[in-house]
Chains A and B, each alone.
Chain A
Amino acid sequence: MKQLLVLLLLSVSMCGFAGENERNATVSVQALPGSVAAGFHIAFKGRKLCEQEMNTPGFADLTGYILEQNYRKMQQEFDKLGCELQFYDYPFLPFDDYYTRDEMSFIRGKVPNGKVAEALSLVSQLIQSAETVNGKELAQAVRSCTRGNRMRRSLNAVAGQHLRQLLFENEYPAYPTYFKGKIPDLMRVKKFMRRYYSPGNMTITVVGDVNAASLKKEIEGRFTASKAGAPCGAKFRVKMTIPEKRTASYETSRKSQGQLVLVRPLKENLNESELAAALLFAREFSDLISFQLREREGLAYSIGAGIRSIGGRYFLAVSMGTSPKFVKSSADRISKMLETLLKEPGVSETELERIRNSLLISRRMKRLTNVNKAFFYGVNLLWHRPLNFEEQVDKSIEKVDIGTLANAKALFSGPEIRMLINATEGQLEKDNGEKREHRKHL
């Protein structure tokens, strides 16, 4: 493992951060000998900034479907290489806690180690061909995009969008994530695509058992525009507003399902060690609420707490999916549990070891595949962080001691903002039988 790390670091220094200009994609290639397959990630930058500027809400989402349609047409060629692509908010991505969808959309892929250059060459053709979209294909993309997508209608997605609107008002995170509405004008779509999918607006990261230097050169040659464009820009920290009314309630058509989201902004400019301690505290709190509310009382079908990054700020975010009648009372209880935990003295050594190991495996699981490693490297390039930022945070987590963890509680003193979705407090009285059933097993 140490050898791998050295090789990884060597290749980082070898390829480093490629120069960014308006014609070329930013490219980073990491060699990881022994990999069973390579992974690549192409981030299209400044997603919502670009949409906001061009008044094209949800166009990155919509045009992702156009790319996917074109992929289906070209799939045989990708199949021949043994390459598999994934697009935009492809389900099951374990990256919701990064909320990167505000800042970018992407194409990512898995490919045999020896076929990366060929696969990326095909991706380049795929992106270029998307600009030739016609009215019929656009209509088809609108249909695929707006109907039957479970993810975009999930209560978590609804809560996330409202939360952004509360905290960031007119800033880019509050801009819609998903495309809605009728078929837009074809020329507007093409204009958006020309800008958003230009090489100068791409960050390409590759990880695999590859020759990093020669592959990087090859990819750079492939992803160059004939003339300079106007990349979508980058703005990673935006002004946050704490709303006066800190509890917001919303109703959706899915009335039989309830959701609550509680967030607390953390102090600005966390360093690695503070972030590590904050992650450990959030894990401790997550374990506490999920054991009590889900495992003991069966109140939640999903529950957890973590550190989220939105608009360049870190937040403690708690989310719980439950019956509408338990939304409000659960929010009250979670707040109280948080206050209590913040006041309690620190954890024991054994407890810290438990929290640390459980946090580390879940963080490492996200980076098992090379396509995911490429994703994180892409995010780190985009956010101007060291490429191996995640590994550095892991090392900091290993170093956090009881004292540091206790001190980290001061990071969580920000105001709490609550989002309650489909809460039906009145029903609590009507359903005494079930209420008793739950209380019985406290």
Chain B
Amino acid sequence: MLVFLIALSISASPGSPFQYKWVQLNNGMPVLLIPVKENPVISSTIVMKVGLKYENKEHNGVSHLLEHLMFNGTTKRTQKQLYDDLDRAGCYSNASTGDHYTAYYTLCSKENFAKALEIQSDMIFHSTLPENKVPKEKSIVIQEIQRDKMSPSYEEGALLRHTLFPASSYGMKVLGDADSVKRIPREEILKFYHKYYAPSNAVAVIVGDFNETDVMKTLEDILGKIPAGDVKGVPADVQIPSSKKMEVQKAASLPYSVYYRVFQCARVGSEEFGAQEIGVELLDRGLKQKFSAVDSRISCSTVYTADYGLVEIRARVKDEKTALQFDRELSVYLKNFKVSSADVREIANRMVQETVFSLERPHFFGMLFAPQIAAGLKNPLYPLVVSDKSVGEFIRKLNGECRSLSLLINGREEKQ
């Protein structure tokens, strides 16, 4: 029972809304186990800690293109065999790429879990990225880019990224653009794959109706035997520009104008993380009540990667004058924002409840938490250990201590 000797001791207490446990496989790969008995299914999410972060301008989009190519064949399966085997095991399979992670998801009946995990592992760690598949995957990705470009939020997102991260790879787009995707040679994709895809750069999340002893044996047999590799992440301290005056960016093709206030805040692994998440939820609720006349869908949210944490307040505004007025009113609102103990407990319970809801679809839990897990999240029940004092401290920091930026993305005036 070697696996239990090396099991990490981080786990939920018996009275928790759900149980979880971190373990480590023989090759060092960390695994988060969450038993859920509601449906007879098990999901496996393998999170690779690589994404846009490690890209350059020349080959922007390589992480996402690689994610696509992973479904094209392995050292022991052609693409057809890969698809057929997944189907035969009754296995749902999907993937997503973000700023600092690429995650692969499977879901299958509990009886077929070992088979599904073997196929997933084969795909992730033994892909061949066949040369004759590269052009068609590029074509699909370029079509995805064209489709995304039609959404107004595409230009909005691109301008926001560019303003926040002018000198970092995070300032680029995860999908890249048509030119950069066309430019990426297969050798570059292979190099990227071999450099970052190894158990030492991965985390697995297993959720569903499993028996712990059996599932650990399966995990060791399939994932634990893969050589760990030696991927060394490159930590970076990414800082957003700070300005007291509202910056204005023109966006000729955007059919509306949108205001952002962005704060540099704590990262996922930090002590402040939980307080920050609850504080942002409280602000989101408060802003929706106070400023619904400005924008009924005004929002306050967080964005995390391994290298930064941001709080973003977003509101669609009529024009620059409205934006300036809102900017002033927002500052006053934040200054006077009070946190009550009851509110903190209520939000904490709601957040935990949302996590419980996500466990009904085991693969969805993986999709939801992959970005935070790649950024270092250890305790999925973190809201339960947050004090109202720490939430108050977070709000206080927003009023002056944090780097912040106000930005108006000025589009065409909306037709009423």
* A complexed with B: yes
Q: Which residues of A contact B (CB under 8 A)?
A: 1, 34-37, 69, 72-73, 75-76, 79-80, 82, 84, 110, 112, 140, 143-144, 147-148, 150, 254, 256-257, 287, 291, 294-301, 321-323, 350, 353-355, 357-358, 360-362, 364-365, 368-370, 437-438, 440-441
Convert B340-377 into 0s and 1s, putting 1 for each residue whose CB lies closer than 8 angstroms to a CB of A.
00000011011001101101111000000000000000
Q: A110-B357, A357-B89, A438-B139 are in contact. Are A72 and B288 (CB under 8 A)?
A: yes
**Chain B residues closer than 8 Å to A437, beta-carbon distance:** 135, 139
CA distance A336 to B109 in the complex (A): 35
Which chain A positions have C-beta within 8 A of B87? 287, 354-355, 357-358
**A-B pairs with CB below 8 Å: how many?**
135
> Which of A144, A298, A361, A440 is B297 in contact with, Cβ under 8 Å?
A144
Chain B residues packing against A (C-beta within 8 Å): 18, 36-41, 71-72, 79-80, 83-84, 86-92, 107-109, 132-133, 135-140, 143-144, 146-147, 149-152, 256, 285, 288-289, 292, 296-297, 346-347, 349-350, 353-354, 356-357, 359-362, 414, 416
Knowing A35-B38, A36-B359, A144-B296, the reply to whether A291 touches B83 (Cβ < 8 A) is yes
Those 6 A-B pairs whose CB atoms lie nearest each other, nearest first? A298-B136, A357-B90, A298-B139, A82-B353, A358-B87, A301-B143
- Among A37, A75, A257, point to the contact of B360 (Cβ < 8 A): A37
A298 touches B140 (CB 8 A): yes
The 20 sampled A-B contact pairs (Cβ below 8 Å) are A36-B356, A37-B356, A72-B288, A84-B357, A144-B297, A147-B256, A257-B147, A291-B80, A295-B79, A296-B136, A298-B135, A298-B139, A301-B140, A301-B143, A350-B88, A358-B90, A365-B107, A368-B360, A368-B362, A369-B360
Say yes or no: B90 contacts A297, CB within 8 Å: no
Q: Which residues of A contact B144 (CB under 8 A)?
A: 301
Please give, as numbers and ranges, the residues of chain B lying within 8 Å of A360 by CB-CB distance. Answer: 90
Kindly name the residue among B92, B138, B350 whose own CB sees the greatest number of chain A CB atoms within 10 A.
B350
The answer to whether A357 touches B360, judged by C-beta atoms less than 8 angstroms apart, is no
CB-CB < 8 A to A73: which residues of B? 289
Q: Interface majority SS on A: helix, strand, loop or mixed?
A: helix
| A284 nearest CB across to chain B (Å) | 11
The closest CB in chain B to the CB of A366 belongs to: B361
Cα-based distance from A144 to B256 in the complex (angstroms): 13
Given contacts A323-B146, A368-B38, 15 further A-B contacts (CB under 8 A): A35-B360, A36-B356, A37-B353, A72-B288, A110-B357, A140-B296, A148-B256, A296-B136, A298-B138, A299-B139, A300-B143, A357-B90, A358-B88, A360-B90, A438-B136
CA distance A191 to B81 in the complex (A): 59
Residues of B within 8 A of A362 (CB): 92
- Whether B18 lies near A82 (C-beta < 8 A) is no
Closest chain-B Cβ to A308's Cβ sits at a distance in Å of: 21
Given A1-B40, A140-B296, A150-B151, A365 contacting B136 (CB threshold 8 A): no
B83 & A295 in contact (Cβ 8 Å cutoff): yes
B18 touches A36 (CB 8 A): yes
Closest residue of chain B to A68, judged by CB?
B296
Chain B residue at smallest Cβ distance from A182: B416
Are A148 and B135 in contact, with the CB atoms below 8 A? no
How far is A147 from B415 in the complex, measured between Cα atoms in Å? 9
- B38 near A36 (CB under 8 angstroms)? yes
Inter-chain contact A256/B136, CB cutoff 8 Å? no
B41 touches A368 (CB 8 A): yes
Q: CB within 8 A of A82: which of B138, B349, B359?
A: B349
Chain B residues with Cβ below 8 Å from A299 are 139
| CB atoms of B92 and A80 under 8 A apart | no
Contact of B91 with A361 in the complex, beta carbons under 8 Å: yes
With a CB–CB cut-off of 8 A, which chain B residues contact A69? Answer: 292, 296
Interface centre among A35, A36, A362, A364 (most CB of B within 10 A): A36
User: A36 contacts which chain B residues (CB < 8 A)?
Assistant: 18, 36, 38, 356-357, 359-360
Q: With a CB–CB cut-off of 8 A, which chain B residues contact A350? A: 88
Tell me, in angstroms, the Cα distance from A72 to B86 when the chains sit together: 42
Give the residues in chain A near B108, CB-CB below 8 Å. 361
Give the residues in chain A near B41, CB-CB below 8 Å. Answer: 364, 368
Closest to B91 in A: A361
Q: How far is the CB of B115 from chain A (nearest CB, A)?
A: 11
Residue of A with least CB distance to B349 = A82
A439 to B133, CA, bound (A): 13
Q: B77 CB to closest chain A CB, in angstroms?
A: 14
Complex: chain B residue closest to A326, CB-CB: B143
Known: A72-B292, A291-B80, A291-B83. A34 touches B357 (CB 8 A): no
Q: When A353-B88, A370-B360 are in contact, do A79 and B346 touch as well, CB less than 8 Å?
A: yes
Residues of A within 8 A of B296 (CB): 69, 72, 140, 143-144
A354 near B84 with CB under 8 A, answer yes
Interface contact A75-B92, CB-CB below 8 Å: no
Q: A36-B360, A361-B108 are in contact. Are A441 and B140 (CB under 8 A)?
A: no
Contact check, A441 vs B132: say whether CB atoms are below 8 A apart: yes
A82 touches B90 (CB 8 A): no
CA–CA, A299 to B140, complex, Å? 7
- Name the CB-closest residue of B to A136: B293
Q: How many angstroms from the CA of A393 to the CA of B317 in the assembled complex?
A: 50
Is the beta-carbon distance between A354 and B135 smaller than 8 angstroms?
A: no
Q: Is A34 touching B37 in the complex (CB atoms < 8 A)?
A: yes
Q: B137: which A residues are within 8 A, CB to CB? A: 298
Q: Give the complex CA separation of A79 and B144 in angstroms.
A: 37
- Chain B residues near A291 (CB-CB < 8 A): 80, 83
Partner of A37, one of B136, B139, B357: B357
Known: A361-B107, A438-B139. A254 touches B150 (CB 8 A): yes
The minimal Cβ–Cβ distance linking A324 to chain B, given in whole angstroms, is 10
Q: Which residues from A are CB-within-8-Å of B147?
A: 257, 301, 321
Q: Quick check: A368 and B109 within 8 Å, CB to CB?
A: no
The distance in angstroms between the C-alpha atoms of A370 and B359, with both chains bound, is 11
B40 vs chain A, min Cβ distance (A): 6
Residue from the set B36, B86, B88 with the largest chain A CB neighbour count within 10 Å: B88
- From B347, B354, B359, B414, give the contact of A147 (CB < 8 A): B414
Q: Report the bound CA distance from A84 to B107 in whole Å.
A: 25
CA of A361 to CA of B113, assembled, Å:
13
Q: What is the minimal beta-carbon distance from A310 to any residue of chain B, in angstroms? A: 25
Cα distance, A259 to B273, chains bound together (Å): 44
Residues of B within 8 A of A357 (CB): 87-90
A36 vs B285: C-alpha distance when bound (angstroms): 26
Least CB distance, B292 to chain A, in whole angstroms: 7
Contacts of A322 in B (CB 8 A): 143
Set of chain A residues within 8 Å of B151, measured between Cβ atoms:
150
B116 (CB) vs chain A CBs: closest residue: A361
In the complex the two chains form, is B285's CB within 8 Å of A75's CB?
yes
Chain A residues closer than 8 Å to B136, beta-carbon distance = 295-298, 438, 441
Q: Per a CB cutoff under 8 Å, which of A76, A148, A301 touches B152?
A: A148
Enumerate chain B residues within 8 angstroms of A256, measured Cβ to Cβ.
146, 149-150
| Highest count of chain A CB atoms <10 Å: which of B139, B346, B350 | B139
